[in-house]
Structures are given as C-alpha cells and as structure tokens.
Chains A and B, each alone.
Chain A
Amino acid sequence: MRGLWQLTWIEIKIFLREPLGALGTVFIPVIVFVAMGKLGTKLFQPSELAASRAFRIDIPVFAALLIAVNAVLSLVSIISIYREGGILKRLRATPLRPQTILTAHVLVKLILSAITLALTLFAGKRYYASGDNVHAIGFTIALLISVCSILSIGFLIASIVPTARFAQPIGSVILYPMIALSGLFVPLRAMPPGMRWAARALPLTYCVSLLQGIWKGDQWLAHVGDVAVLAVVFLFCTALSSKVFRWE
C-alpha cells in the first residue's frame, strides 16, 4: 500500500479546495442538525422532548445515515469523474495498486464523514436528549460497519454507471429510496406486507436497525443478524465490483 497516505492526504486537500467542499459536506449537516434541535426545544417542553422517540433516536440516526449516504454518493461521482477524465488511468500507470487508489478514496470519505458526524453530534448534544447511555464507541463501530456496506454498494454503482453525468442521479435513485424504506420513518411493523418485504430486502434497513439499537443501548448480541447481513452485502458487492470495475 505504498503511497496510500500521500494519496489520501492529497485527496482530502483537493476535496476541501472544491467550492462548497468543506462547507457542503461538513458544516451544512451540522447547521441543519442544530437548527432542527433548536426548533424542537422551541416547540416542545424538555420532558416532551426526552419522551419523543423521534428526537431521542430517529433524528440522530437519520443524520448519521444521511451523512453516510452522502459520502457514498460523493464517492460514486468522484470515481466516475476520475474515470472519465482519465485520472484513474494515469494513476494506474504508476506503481500504485488499484486497491490503494480505491482505499484512499474510501479513507477520505470515512475521515470526512467521521469529522462531520463528530461535529454534528457534538454541536447538537444540547438539543438531543439521547441520555448518557449512548455508547460512543459502540455507535461508531456500528456506523463503521454500516458505512462499509453502503460504500461497497456505492462502488458497485460506480463500477457500472456508464458516465460521470449519471453517477450522482443513479446513485441517488438507488440510495435515497432505501432510506425511505429503511424503517426510519415508517416502522417495518406498520408497513403493508409488500413494502415490508421490499424493506427487508434492502441493506439500509439493517443499518437502521443496527444504528437505532446501538444508539438506544441494545446489546450487540441482539443485532448479530443485522451485522451478518451487512457483512454479506459488503462481501458480495466488493467481489462483484472487483470483477466489473472499469478503469477507463
């Protein structure tokens, strides 16, 4: 993995130089999250807030998921742009291994998402009475597992979208409905059977279940199933994209 750190570092710098790069990915989620929290404290009494499932669990999990999905979408579009512009090919004509190039991009996204998430949760701490029983480390691990599997889906998308112009829209069309059906807005129990069946087939549903559970303070044992599904998704997508990925 020679060159991994140099490449990762340069890619972070390049990303932050993008107009809206730092602002769009790091600060906007923080601002939105805090604004929602502020609104909540205006509209409701503290006791109501503490009792509200939405404020206790769903919004923080939603924020985490959204940051992850946005990171993946941005990864998909960067990979497509790099491929179309011949940048990937130019990088591949050096001793850089393909895995190194892709890992660097994943790392960039992970690092930026982690920073965003930490800032978001920290800034919103006052407004979201998640209690002290949230296990930061546990939640981070759960999030990492989720992000890895979503990233692998992203790579699969990046492997097959034909042009950079379609990368972002196609990615959105695939990923955003997954959020809608993930059980975050409508619990699985309340869905009609057909929808529930569809929701069960989507990987994000398992991310939500895992993230909600760990945020609430569930034991890991209760979520072995979720982790297993996400691991399978990860392995499947990674294997498939390594077969169909195009460099130019």
Chain B
Amino acid sequence: MIAPKPIVKVSALRKTYDSFVAVDDISFEVFDGEIFGLIGPNGAGKTTTLECVEGLRTRDSGSITVLGLDPFRDIYKLQDRIGVQLQEAQLQKRIKVKEAVHLWSSLYRKPAADGDRLLEQLGLAEKRNARFMTLSGGQKQRLFIVLALINDPELVFLDELTTGLDPQSRHAIWELVRGIRARGKTVFLTTHLMEEAERLCDRVAIIEHGKIIDIDTPEKLVNKYCPERTVVLTAEDPRAEAYFRGIPRVEEVVRKEMRFTIRGSGDDLVTEVIRCLSENQIRVSDFRTVLPTLEDVFLRVTGRSIRD
C-alpha cells in the first residue's frame, strides 16, 4: 500500500481567547482523498481548529500546512483551491440565490463548477430567484454548501454540514460528499451527528477541551472503546440459560421470560453464541445482535454530562 499523502498537516496547534485555552497543542493530518471528521462536544474547539486551518483565525503557536501552503501567509493562494462552509454565516438579506452563485463563481481564478447543477443537486433550483432572507434555515445551509463547492475545490471544509437539515437533505448531502471523494478530492468536516461521522468519514478525530483524544477509523474506535457485544434471542429451551453462561467471555445473561440478553466482549462473542446454539441444538425463534456505535464511543470517552 502506498503511504497516504497528507494534505493538511497540523502540529502543536494552540489557540487561546484571552486566558481561555480553546485549542491546546493538537496535531493531526488529513490525507489526500479521504473524508476526515472532527467530532466533539459543544465548545470542544472544532470550529476554532477548522478556522485556523482555513486561515480565518490566527493561531497562537504551532504549525499548519494546507496543500503545501501556510494558511495564514498564503491565504489568497489557498482560497482559490479550497471551499469553505462556515458553521454560522449569513449573506446579504436581499441577495438572490442566483446572484450569490454568480458572484461566487466570478471570484475564482479557475473555471467554476456548474452552479445550476449544484443548485439542482441540492434541491434549490426552484429558489434561484428567491432572496436569501426568504430561504428556510435548511435552504440557507444548502446554499452555503453550493457556495463552498462552486470552485470545484481540491479540499472542502464543512463545519456542521447537516445541522438543521431534514433526512432527505441529509442523505442528498452525504451522497454529494461521497461524490466529492469519488472525484479524488478531500473533505474535512465537523459534525455532531455520530451516524453521519460513522457513515461518511474514513477517519475521525475525537476532540474535547481543545485536546484530541483519539484519531482512527470509526470501526477501530468502536472496537477499541466499546468492545462489548450484545446478542438478544428468544429460546424456549429450559437448558438454554446454563449453556449461555458457559460461553467464554460472556459477562452477563439476563432472562426475561423466554428472552435472553447476552452481553460479552470481543469480536468472537456472536460466533460463540451461534456455536453454542447449534452444538446444543437449542431452537431459537428470534435472534439479533446489538453492536455499539460511534455514539457509544463518543459518550464513553467524552462523558455524559452537558457541556457549558
């Protein structure tokens, strides 16, 4: 396998607001052609990190390289090659959708992507003549995604890309983002939806209190932090419970009438349960496994209390 080429390199990044440390000495890389996600509770420092990488905020210390450029010094060169969607943004109240798209496409040196097609893909074709202030929250959000993609960027930053969007729009945008990756571009996003991170991201970084807790693929994070597996089944066999307790690495068997919940850890748990069933010829009428998700990982590593 070829070693992945880093597109974004951040090392020892630190950012403070007065005496408050928002980003505390973090380092990571985003590789060419991947979808990289930053997840973490409110106020963890995601937006701050992203905007330092985009060159919109100054850092206190550390080094950042984006597409071989320093985002602060070479901001104009860089902005031609990247696309940015900000977490909180507005446009002129009375600008029309098509005017915004037209303005944005005139700002870049290289030929722009097809604005009409993007509007179409994001379900805004009918709103071409609408003024920005008359758009709904989700429509505004989708317009900002159109604007972020208008220059067909090599690297796209999406800060909470699907906040406030309905399931249809969310799925459409996930498709779009996968399409961006399929064309060899790189995506760097933040999200609060663990389902989104799990379905979309090749790798995620979990950040809390301005520090990165871990970076890996969603599956590996799940295996590492939440190795437990759960099997839920229904069996009428009176011998069943004793057999289940004998399965290696089973930690708990809960029985409620004929319904068993078997908890244990390790990838082999499910196989072991199935083997036990067949060896002892236990008849089951229902069988399902419950796997932990990235959300479980998130809650486990960042705690369950609400952030200020």
Contacts and interface: CB of A to CB of B under 8 A. Distances in A.
B99 to A, nearest CB: 5
Nearest to A78: B92
Interface string B83-97: 010101111111100
A189 interface: no
A18 B54 CA distance: 33
A89 B90 CA distance: 9
B159 to A, nearest CB: 11
Interface of B: 54, 56, 76, 79-80, 84, 86, 88-95, 99, 102-104, 106-109, 131, 144
A151 to B, nearest CB: 20
Given A95-B80, A97-B76, A2 B107 contact: yes
Given A10-B95, A14-B95, A96 B90 contact: no
A92 interface: yes
A95 B93 CA distance: 21
A90 interface: yes
A107 interface: no
Indicate the member of A3, A14, A94 with the most B CB atoms within 10 Å.
Answer: A94
A13 B103 CA distance: 13
B90 A86 contact: yes
Main secondary structure of the interface of A (DSSP, over half): helix
Main secondary structure of the interface of B (DSSP, over half): loop
B76 A95 contact: yes
Contacts of A87: 89-92
A10 B99 CA distance: 7
A93 interface: yes
Indicate the member of B86, B90, B106 with the most A CB atoms within 10 Å.
Answer: B90
Contacts of B93: 14
Interface residues of A, number: 22
Contact of A96 (B86, B91, B107): B107
B86 A3 contact: no
Contacts of B89: 86-87, 89-90
A7 interface: yes
Contacts of B94: 14, 17-18
Contacts of A92: 56
Contact of B106 (A6, A86, A97): A6
A85 B90 contact: yes
B108 A95 contact: yes
A7 B144 CA distance: 17
Given A3-B103, A14-B92, A89-B89, 15 more contacts: A2-B106, A6-B103, A7-B103, A10-B92, A86-B89, A87-B89, A87-B91, A93-B56, A93-B86, A94-B107, A95-B76, A95-B79, A95-B107, A95-B108, A97-B76
Indicate the member of B88, B91, B92 with the most A CB atoms within 10 Å.
Answer: B92
